[in-house]
Structure 1
Amino acid sequence: MPRIHRISHVEVVMVQNFWICINAVIPLMIYLIIGMLVKRVGLINDDEVHRFNRLVFIVLFPPMMFENLYGAKLSTALSPRLIVFALVFLLSYIALSIPVVQKLEKKPETRGAMIQAMYRSNFVLMGLPIAINICGAGNVSKTAILVTIIVPTYNVLAVIILEYYRGGRASISKMLRKIATNPIILGAVAAGIAISLNITVPKSIDRVVYSLSECTTPMAMILLGASFNIKSVKSGRRNLSISIIAKLIVLPAIGLPIAMLLGFRDVEFVSLIVMMAAPCSVSSYTMAESMGSDGELAGNAVIFTTGFSILTIFGWLFLFKNMGMF
């Protein structure tokens, strides 16, 4: 009689994670297609795409940032060791990326977009659902806390990097003033004040902030689809390829073995996998476009890392699961 193969629990979980990746990507791809169709039928032109990107950046990003931070109970399931490692590695990786990018690319605005694409992950949309599937909804409080710290850090670092590499060379005082008045920073400061002073936001206001926050990703992806230009992919394929490989392969290939050697296991290790291996953040395109950076490169990095991440995240999970890391 032929031998019947019994499907193991590991195989079931890996298949589930593969479908979670696909289900996380499909809505983003649908938004992109809507944007492409909207542009194709003439409902929006290039100038309007640029203006709407400014609107998203100024009107929707502050509520999104506020919502990410406000109400985060940092004392619950806090893992200082995990947070410190994630922050130190993030800063170290960016520090290593900067001289590499400066050697490879001469245009300041493109340098900023490349550096951002190399480190900034879509932790919330792609990372958290995968962590929940692997560890269970009641066991990912450490992941959730890491999200509330890392995502704002991504945003603040992106503001600094994009402002520094903005087309011309601004004075230090002018650059610091622009950073301090950036919508992302203002949203974070507002949340910080509310948390530190224990301010309770009225339900009616909280509902508005939440609704605006929820609009951010769909609007950003639709505008990204409307701005997509295949010619820019061909002309900038070298920088795009470098950014994709650095984000999906190099970053986790450096960070995860270090985490393994330092003894991170189970939910902490899963948190680091989804943080490092997730594709580029959707908001990186809008920020690059609105801050004088290379919006085309940033947008293409979001599109292509999102697509390729279905395979790469699955590969990283499969590898480290078989090594007994979680």
Structure 2
Amino acid sequence: MTLILGALLPIFAVIGLGWVLRRTNLVQESAWPGISRLTYVGLSPALLFSVISKADFSTISVGPAVAASALGFVVMGVIVLALKPLIRADGPSFTSVFQGACRWNGLVILALAALAYGVEGEVLISLIMVVTIPIVNIQVVTVLTVWGANGRKPDVPTVMRRIVTNPLILGCIAGGVANLLGWFQTGTVSEVVELMGRAALPLILLAVGAGLDFTALRANRWLLALTVVLKLILAPVVFGLIAWTFGVRGEALAIVVMVGASPGAASAYVLAQQLGGNRQLTAGDVTATTLLSFFTLPAAVWIAQLVG
């Protein structure tokens, strides 16, 4: 637990700094969407490319951990859908619960894995991201299409286009191709991409902090509490059990549990806004899970380390 706490402290310190910068207007509120866009479209793909292109996969066994993570998101989606008759909420509010329980902030977990477990942790999270991003997006877009307030019909081509053009997926795929072919291991291109990647995580964490919305915590507190329980308590148990069944042990097991215990992603708010979800409840989900994960993440990983 000491290792994870030591890694979490600087991460949450930078997140807190982002909130302070926005609240004090030292960085104007209008600037944050551009910063978030820069990290998502440019810097984060560069980071993932740099990590994957130089990884030594001969020393890393990732298959079972990646498979367990993918199945974990599917199982969580099924659980939330099964609970729908018991969740007394309108359609848009249910989509917020679903997003809160089934999305994860992969880039925050990438930063945590890098600090706690080094290059191998970075590589494993990067590969989990490229496999699970399509799965999670298909799940949440489908749920928002069915129960969102905008009345749109399912648009399969649009969903697929969003997935295949996702900058994070493209960065991972390009890194994998470069690794396979031995390209850009050294030289100017490698140095430029690595330098861009170094800027990604601090800006991502600052943007997460700037996006915290404490007023949104006044939204439906019962649904907020339910989402927190699903995301921060049930999900790491589900992911851990699946990974254990798949034979995942040691640091890999802890990393899979970290994926399950991740706070919600700020991109959920954007999707709720576009597809008719409950935006205020979604903002509350992201804020609550981000704050509480400071306590639940170390506990979840500590239990995983004891078991594995």
Which runs of no fewer than 5 residues in structure 1 stay unpaired?
1-16
Match of 1:215 among 199, 217, 223: 199
Aligned runs of 1:63-212 on 2, under 5 Å?
Answer: 63-78=46-61, 80-98=63-81, 100=83, 104=89, 106-107=91-92, 110=96, 113-117=99-103, 122-127=108-113, 130=116, 132=117, 146-161=124-139, 163-164=141-142, 165=144, 168=150, 169=152, 171-212=155-196
Alpha-carbon offset, residue 250 of structure 1 = 0.4
| Cα offsets for 1:103-135 (capped at 9, x unmatched) | 6552287366324446968543334655x5xxx
Q: Greater CA deviation, 311-320 or 51-60?
A: 311-320
Does the C-alpha gap of structure 1 residues 245 and 121 become closer, same or farther in structure 2, counting only changes over 3 Å?
farther
Partner of 1:251: 235
One-letter amino acid of the counterpart of residue 131, structure 2: T
| Cα offsets for 1:155-175 (capped at 9, x unmatched) | 333444455537753622222
For the 8 Å contact 2:19–2:212, the answer to whether it is kept is yes
Match of 1:61 among 24, 44, 55: 44
> Structure 2 length as normaliser, TM-score?
0.74
Q: CA separation in 1, counterparts of 2:176 and 2:246?
A: 32
Does the C-alpha gap of structure 1 residues 163 and 47 become closer, same or farther in structure 2, counting only changes over 3 Å?
farther
Larger radius of gyration: 1
Which runs of no fewer than 5 residues in structure 2 stay unpaired?
none
Aligned residues: 295
> Structure 1 length as normaliser, TM-score?
0.71
For the 8 Å contact 2:7–2:112, the answer to whether it is kept is yes
Does the C-alpha gap of structure 1 residues 194 and 320 become closer, same or farther in structure 2, counting only changes over 3 Å?
closer
What is the percent sequence identity of the aligned residues?
18
Does the C-alpha gap of structure 1 residues 301 and 176 become closer, same or farther in structure 2, counting only changes over 3 Å?
same
Does the C-alpha gap of structure 1 residues 260 and 179 become closer, same or farther in structure 2, counting only changes over 3 Å?
closer
For the 8 Å contact 2:46–2:171, the answer to whether it is kept is yes
Partner of 1:49: 32
Task: State the superposition RMSD in angstroms.
Answer: 3.8
For the 8 Å contact 2:254–2:305, the answer to whether it is kept is no
Alpha-carbon offset, residue 232 of structure 1 = 0.9
Alpha-carbon offset, residue 195 of structure 1 = 3.2
